[in-house]
Structure 1
Amino acid sequence: MRMNRFLLSICVVCLICSCTTNRLSRDNSRALFFSDNYIKSIMLKAAEWQLKNPKHHIKDWTNGAFYAGIFATWETTKSENIYNTLMELGEKTAWEPHKRFYHADDVAICQTYIDLYQLEKKREMIQPTIDTIARFIANPYPKTHKAEIIKWWWCDALFMAPPVMTKLWKATGDKEYLTYNDLYFKECYDLLYNQEEHLFARDLNYLLQPDGSGRKEANGQRIFWSRGNGWVMGGLVRMLQDLPSDYPQRPFYEKLYKDMAERIIGLQQEDGLWRASLLDPESYPGGEVSGSGFFCYALAWGINNKILDKKKYLPAVKKAWISLNGCVNEEGRVGWVQPIGGDPQKNFSENNWEVYGTGAFLLAGSEVIKLPKK
């Protein structure tokens, strides 16, 4: 009977949206997609497909996002196979970050190491991360182009590195990690956050000049990248889940998170997803899953932790989750993911997948399953 229900659910998923408005079912209240059994099943299916189809260096930033989703899958399902896979990751990498001690991308994988350390309590699982972050703090950033004027000079870095800092604080009790995290985060915030739009520019190349010149979308709007802002929100909730409730800087992060959340739900499209470029959706047909997955994850987390109003935000999360499921094929492959890049692009379809898109989907599922049932 359980198998029949699961097969039925997969069939229904295949019948709804393919991330385009005209194929989206408008019934966003159906309970199927929100049952615990279904969510666990689709998460395992997506995780297992992606694990069988690896891509990129295992310590690459792409896999940093993916393995964050794999850890969330283990937390949700308690699958022994998933846990063994996570431990194998650490054994293969010797619990080491990637090559560049100074680059946020290359420590993203450390989030998973620290999460596993909290379960295993073996110092060798976090010592390489501690040593790398110490070098990062002690040394200036080796600039290679004009955008690199601060250590976290691109907005996606706020997913890669800040959760590493807050997780290290939680693992070690050393508050210096929080102090430096505040310093570097606020440098990025001051440089790239638009106070009117409540969104982050990707980097200095996407800020307009005082005379209004600079890169703009076809409709004349500023360029705000869906994935970049999705990763900022994902990083914020991963920080907030570890920051102490009485931490003096916590109100700053909570306000930023709530301001972005309110802006983001206003930019959700009719099909439940967000476009690669947030302010020019008409130029970017088709939803983009890596940005949309992180928005779904972050908004659901806010509801679950009573930071966001359930009545206001729950419909948006439900709509997004149903649509995200429509982007998972019968094999468990998560499609409609924009390829690697640093700005909004249109060169993707249902056949485009990336490990970070799967990671975003898995993280979304790990919070959607916790949503209030009534």
Structure 2
Amino acid sequence: MKKVTLIMALLIVATGLAEAQNLPAKKEVMDKMVITNAYFMNKWPDTGKTIITNKERQSNIWTRAVYYEGLMALYSVNPDKAYYDYAMSWGEAHKWGLNGGVKTRNADNHCCGQTYLDLYENEKKPEMIKDLKESIDAMIASDKIDDWTWIDALQMAMPVYAKLGVITGDKKYSERMYQMYMDSKVRQGFYNSADGLWWRDKDFRPPYKEPNGEDCYWSRGNGWVVAALVRVMEIAPKDPHYKEYKKTYLAMMKALLPIQRADGFWNASLHDPTNFDGKETSGSGLFVYGMAWGVNHGLLSAKKYMPAIVKGWNAMASEAVHADGFLGFVQGTGKQPSDGQPVTYDSKPDFEDYGLGCFLLAGSEVWKMAK
């Protein structure tokens, strides 16, 4: 009798483990994206309304631009006209302009261009990318290539260069993108090939250490690089520097796999789980996005990476999404693990938009692999 009971107990445990490794159905994945996005759209019906936190900002800044990246990803798998119109309204509200104007060299200010370009491909209205192209062309006309002094910049700007190159057929965009990327990676030295991860900026390179003596690899910062590489490879698979992007992407995926938390999230500090440890959605969302995209495009082994994807998505979907669609466990803006703390289920980050963008990017790829 005891033997039978033991066998039954083992079967229950095994069944539970198996179920934990299954993705939910497509509808369930979509439902999570729809409810979180609806929460945001209902809260921000006026797409041109300024954002007020510690000060007032125009709503075409990078935080909102990342949300629209996620919205366009959602639209690609759920072509609801309301999503498209919401994105169009945002561009029109800002007259397709950039925060900082056409003379800006700041990657954060170029991030809105990713959605402008996506919409331009459908609308073919020159005014939609006029200011963006003028700004990028001015950067290319100069010899300066060291503007990306923090790794977040790669995600904010690289996809803009990649898509401009595809739309215009002009190689100058992909070449300058590569030069600036390599300046950040090699000359400024933000990438540590030994660990397959990136220091956020010069302030975090050695001798800077985390409390446990490890290097400081910030979760969301590395997530931005993952997103940059994924989006560039998807936009421009024929880019002559594709092999470099792919090599670095694969190294990062390999480095991120074993440091996923048991609960499916990643810590804010990737190599120091004791430094502001806990669940965090934005970095985790970007990593799930990168891994799911890699499996969907045949760059990663499904057998090896699906458990991490499933565990990561299920954790976010079940533990971070509130009943009303609010997204919890999102770290506020900053540059290191200590910023925006404490990060909890109920805590509201200073900006509610970019975390949702990361979640929608992940969901759009997970949806493609769900049954």
- d(CA) in 2 for partners of 1:28 and 1:166? 38
- Give the equivalent residue in structure 2 for 1:18: none
2:346 aligned with 1:343, yes or no?
no
What per-residue deviation string (whole Å, max 9, x for no partner) do you get for residues 84-142 of structure 1? 1011011101111211611000111110000111111111111111001112233476x
Work out the CA distance in 2 between the residues paired with 1:223 and 1:241: 29
Amino acid at match of 1:271: D
Q: Which residue in the other structure is 1:229 paired with?
A: 222
Q: Are the equivalent residues in 2 in contact too, given 1:201–1:225 (CA < 8 A)?
A: yes
Cα distance in 2 for partners of 1:338, 1:288 equals 6
| Alpha-carbon distance between aligned partners in 2 of 1:226 and 1:53, rounded to the nearest angstrom | 28
More displaced 10-residue stretch of structure 1: 122-131 or 52-61? 52-61
The runs of 5 or more residues in structure 1 that have no matched partner are 1-24, 142-148, 209-213
Alignment of 1:35-54 (within 5 A): 35-54=25-44
Which residue of the partner structure matches residue 174 of structure 1? 170
Q: Does 1:74 align with 2:95?
A: no
Letter in 2 for 1:164: V
Q: Which of 101, 119, 135 does residue 116 from structure 1 map onto?
A: 119
Deviations 1:262-306 (A, max 9, x none): 101111010001010000013323111110000011110000000
- For 1:358, the equivalent position in structure 2 comes to 356
Which residue of 1 is the match for residue 153 of structure 2?
157
Q: Distance in 2 between matches of 1:28 and 1:133?
A: 46
Give the whole-Å Cα distance in 2 for the aligned partners of 1:120 and 1:288.
Answer: 37
Whether the 8 Å contact between 1:294 and 1:360 is mirrored in structure 2 is yes
Give the counterpart letter for 1:195 in structure 2.
S
Per the TM alignment, residue 29 of structure 1 is displaced from its structure 2 partner at its CA by 3.0
Deviation at 1:348, TM superposition (A): 1.8
Whole-angstrom distance in 2 between the partners of 1:311 and 1:259: 17
> Please, what TM-score do these two structures have when normalized by structure 2?
0.86
Q: Identical aligned pairs, as a percentage?
A: 36
Give the TM-score, by structure 1 length.
0.86
Residues 1:192 and 2:194 are matched in the alignment: no
The 5 A counterparts of 1:1-374 are 27-31=19-23, 33=24, 35-54=25-44, 55=51, 57-99=58-100, 101-139=104-142, 150-190=146-186, 191-208=189-206, 214-245=207-238, 247-325=239-317, 326-345=319-338, 346-351=341-346, 352-353=348-349, 354-371=352-369, 373=371
CA distance in 1, matches of 2:328, 2:298: 31
**Matched residue pairs, number?**
334
Contiguous gaps of at least 5 residues in structure 2: 1-15, 45-50, 52-56
Task: For residue 215 of structure 1, give the secondary structure of its aligned residue in structure 2.
Answer: coil
Q: In 2, distance between residues paired with 1:139 and 1:251?
A: 27
Task: Give the whole-Å Cα distance in 2 for the aligned partners of 1:122 and 1:68.
Answer: 20
Aligned equivalents of 2:287 and 2:225: distance in 1?
Answer: 9
Q: Which has the larger radius of gyration?
A: 2
CA contact (8 A) 2:111 2:160 kept: yes
Q: Secondary structure at the match of 1:73?
A: helix
Tell me, yes or no, if the aligned pair for 1:304 and 1:372 is still in contact at 8 Å: no
Deviation of 1:57 after TM superposition, in Å, equals 2.9
Distance 1:331 1:248 in 2: 45
CA–CA separation in structure 1 for the residues paired with 2:65 and 2:278:
26
State the distance in 2 between where 1:372 and 1:328 align: 19
